[in-house]
Amino acid sequence: CHAMGPMARAKKLMDPADYERVVEEKMRREGLTRKQAEDEYNQYLENPPFYYALEKKEEYYKSLGYKDLFEGMIGEAEKEGRGDEVRERIRKFQQKGRLKGFSVIIIALISFYFAREAYWSDPENFLPGI
């Protein structure tokens, strides 16, 4: 169960007719209760569609008994004989993500270091006007 966040609350206040239409459609199409349909739609509104889709895919793989999204993708690909290919794609994806994360951390540390040095070199005139 997901609480209604700011995006879902704004959608419901600004366009209640469309919000109701989508909830009713989800109830009819997926056989959900009103609460379930609202929770799912609110979750969709709060998460960008890409992340919402990933979350749903992970739920699907967990329902098949896999530990997580990646294990599910590999397991299903192995059934088709593509396990090694998918395993390699996931490895590259994770490696790229780690590299981006480390890059952001390093840039933040370097920026902090230079700001600190600028402050200590002339504390009286550091960022005048603030």
How much is the pLDDT for 127? Answer: 83
Residue 18's CB: how many other CB atoms inside 10 A? Answer: 11
- In 3D space, the residue among 50, 56, 57 whose CA is nearest the CA of residue 2 turns out to be 56
The answer to whether the CB of 26 falls within 8 A of the CB of 41 is yes
CA distance 1 to 17: 23
User: Which pTM was predicted?
Assistant: 0.53
How much is the pLDDT for 2? Answer: 55
Phi first, then psi: give them for residue 32, nearest 5 degrees.
-95, 160
> Where is 113: in which H helix or E strand?
helix 83-121
How much is the pLDDT for 1? Answer: 46
Per-domain boundaries in the chain: 67-130
How much is the pLDDT for 54? Answer: 84
How much is the pLDDT for 34? Answer: 94
Q: What are the tokens at 85?
A: 């290919």
CA distance 17 to 38: 14
Per residue of the chain (130 residues), what is the pLDDT tens digit? 456 888 888 989 999 999 999 999 999 999 999 999 999 898 888 887 778 788 889 989 999 999 999 999 999 999 999 999 999 999 999 999 999 999 999 999 999 999 999 999 998 888 887 7
CA distance 55 to 69: 9
Torsion of CA 5, 97, 66, 46, to 10 degrees: 10
